[in-house]
Structure 1
């Protein structure tokens, strides 16, 4: 008969930093996961490690892998009372993000729970009003999980297409930024991650990230160089925070302060695109107009990329904090972005100018979302705007506003 003994947690729970009920002969977590349960002093401990690496790996089980491969956008929900959201000790929670990160289509991307067991509950000096305001709505958990799933797709999108919702393809191609080129190679290698090459992939990812941080001086870097550095760092953060590897996640948590510092510096350097003089559509000298249009477009690309990248940095921080701790401290980020898919998706100055003439340039200030979005139509938004809308309004309201066709495009119908 099973009983709870006084011995320490089993090795499996220690490795994954989960609370162990210490039942003998097998704890409940090992029974649920169908893995061998070993206790120090009672069984001979055997840590599974990847070849030539000190990276711990959980033992996969055929049953568990079969469930993952057959699932499609499945997310195991953690059902808890609202008061439990105030503590980071969420035992047994497992978030699975099966979005098939491998380019070869082998296996699902699994995100082991980021609600790590910690010895202390949420800090007692946290403002209870702030915590209550962010955790009182039980629907927040669902919308944050959806946004997190979409964010984890970004490195693969960048590796395959050379652009994301905050990195424009033309700007990336024209700038030839070493930081983004390194990030693209790291993303591509990460997409091909397997059990055999995982240690190499992780080592390459960490080296690229640390080289980037060591070589970037935010006070001396130009706006475009700092922008590229922050974009690359966000790609590294997305891979490391949501991979499921404890060491990667720990390093990413340390580097989070660097990302926020760079984002704050970029935010301070950003000027509104409306202050930039635009070429007059009716100008007579066509050669001057062509030059001015190209200059206007490139200037707008830099400014819009900065605004989107800064907002993404704070969005990622908030999403990860909420998933790990159950709450997040709101940031008064007075930033705006252009909610016009035709402008962001333009691949040339001519296309961009045509879009400006045919559509309204909607500058959406995030803190005044409701009144700003009133002028927009569903076709005006691309993924960036959809994610912000989901965070603010929730999934159901976003689905209704977008309509069925666009809802399918962004996977909201499966949320």
Structure 2
């Protein structure tokens, strides 16, 4: 954050007063409003924290004392309500900490952890049968084969970035017109990783640490596209450091899982709150689906680290189950020339979306392996690989 309200004018922001909560007097928003995405305003500040004029001019109200120049990326822990405005219809689980999502007492009553390898989402008892939500079974624990399979796929992001500049969560046409610096750095470091040897491990470790520090220092000025590229880059950096023990970077990487979590949450919020214009429906799909899959892989990365460190517990399952993506996996392979030939329904941005939990149940009913691309096999391998070993073979691309 940029500052705090000075001691001579100490008064909580309106949102904290209304909720009868302690306010840390942070500016341009206190930590509670920052986490919850609330409009943070102070009664005695000479300018409101979110006035465009103060942002554009860089003028800081006289009642504010500066305390640092970069945003505060320390995650504050579990929230009481959704990080996003309720009207945006965003999943509140995305903005809960890893600890809270793995604790039974913090999970809503409609989520029930089974004793075996799954979580069952059962309908609440109060609504009539016609309004009950469908039963969804998804994994809560991964066995050794599933874990090895998912880690291999996460590490597969690195050669994919080095050789093609794309991954299962970064479309090949995403940065066709402009390549953000964050993206270029990630491609370069991915190529360096492929030359990994004893002599250059220190160089690789320092380079990744330097790039992450650079991301932090520039994060306050990111455009939405730069923000997306930064989260994508951090996913790749985390995959390298968390899942390659030869580098001995796991301790440093574990600390940055909170950073990845928070940046992903902010990216998700921005994608709903900031309007974007695209030249064609194809460009809109490429950006929005890349963003949706990026959020998915961000959660996946942290979830698999939980599996390794918490006895197989996939502690982000409630998040993953509700994250959406485009149900038509073949759309991802389309280029601009054949996009218009698709039978894509209404053509709206959100047309044909499905969440992970629902899709996994639908797939189990058909078990058509041929319809899955690398992205689909990763999702299904993590979900049903214990029951169907075919899912755990040759999906890294």
TM-score w.r.t. structure 2 length? 0.58
Partner of 2:202: 199
Of residues 255-264 and 168-177 in structure 1, the stretch that sits farther from structure 2 once superposed is 168-177
Aligned partner of 2:293 among 304, 308, 323 = 308
CA–CA distance in structure 1, aligned partners of residues 355 and 105 of structure 2: 28
CA–CA distance in structure 2, aligned partners of residues 324 and 297 of structure 1: 40
Which aligned pairs between 1:3-18 and structure 2 lie closer than 5 A?
none
CA–CA distance in structure 2, aligned partners of residues 270 and 379 of structure 1: 32
CA–CA distance in structure 2, aligned partners of residues 201 and 253 of structure 1: 17
Aligned partner of 2:355 among 365, 384, 396 = 365
CA–CA distance in structure 2, aligned partners of residues 295 and 318 of structure 1: 35
SS in 2 for 1:364: strand
Q: 1:241 to 1:139 in 2, by over 3 A?
A: closer
Which aligned pairs between 1:103-114 and structure 2 lie closer than 5 A?
none
- Within the alignment, does 1:340 sit opposite 2:343 as a pair? no
CA–CA distance in structure 2, aligned partners of residues 355 and 344 of structure 1: 12
Partner of 1:146: 149
SS in 2 for 1:174: coil
Q: Could you tell me how far 1:363 is from its partner in structure 2?
A: 2.5
CA–CA distance in structure 1, aligned partners of residues 276 and 371 of structure 2: 23
Is the 8 Å Cα contact of residues 186 and 208 (structure 1) preserved in structure 2? no
Q: 1:371 to 1:249 in 2, by over 3 A?
A: closer
Aligned partner of 1:320 among 284, 288, 305 = 305
Which aligned pairs between 1:56-135 and structure 2 lie closer than 5 A?
127=104, 133=113
Partner of 1:80: none
Query: Which of the pair has more CA radius of gyration?
Result: 1
Which aligned pairs between 1:233-272 and structure 2 lie closer than 5 A?
233-245=234-246, 247-271=248-272
CA–CA distance in structure 2, aligned partners of residues 342 and 126 of structure 1: 37
Give the aligned CA root-mean-square deviation in angstroms: 3.7
Q: 1:193 to 1:174 in 2, by over 3 A?
A: same
Q: 1:391 to 1:409 in 2, by over 3 A?
A: closer
TM-score w.r.t. structure 1 length? 0.55
Partner of 1:208: 211
- Within the alignment, does 1:298 sit opposite 2:289 as a pair? no
Partner of 1:397: 388
Q: Could you tell me how far 1:133 is from its partner in structure 2?
A: 3.9
- Within the alignment, does 1:178 sit opposite 2:168 as a pair? no
Deviations 1:381-403 (CA, angstroms, capped at 9, x unpaired): 3211111111222254362xx7x
SS in 2 for 1:354: coil
Deviations 1:145-198 (CA, angstroms, capped at 9, x unpaired): 211111111111110111100011111332311001011111111111112222
Partner of 2:342: 355
Is the 8 Å Cα contact of residues 209 and 233 (structure 1) preserved in structure 2? yes
Q: 1:370 to 1:236 in 2, by over 3 A?
A: closer
Q: 1:129 to 1:136 in 2, by over 3 A?
A: farther
SS in 2 for 1:171: coil
SS in 2 for 1:175: coil
Select the structure with the greater relative contact order (CA < 8 A; seq sep ≥ 6).
2
Is the 8 Å Cα contact of residues 342 and 352 (structure 1) preserved in structure 2? no
Is the 8 Å Cα contact of residues 201 and 247 (structure 2) preserved in structure 1? no
SS in 1 for 2:256: helix
Aligned length: 263
Q: 1:128 to 1:245 in 2, by over 3 A?
A: farther
Is the 8 Å Cα contact of residues 342 and 355 (structure 1) preserved in structure 2? no
Q: 1:372 to 1:269 in 2, by over 3 A?
A: farther
Partner of 2:373: 382
Structure 2: 5+ residue runs without aligned partners?
1-98, 118-140
CA–CA distance in structure 1, aligned partners of residues 302 and 142 of structure 2: 19
Partner of 1:165: 168
Structure 1: 5+ residue runs without aligned partners?
1-121, 278-291
Q: 1:208 to 1:330 in 2, by over 3 A?
A: closer
SS in 1 for 2:354: strand
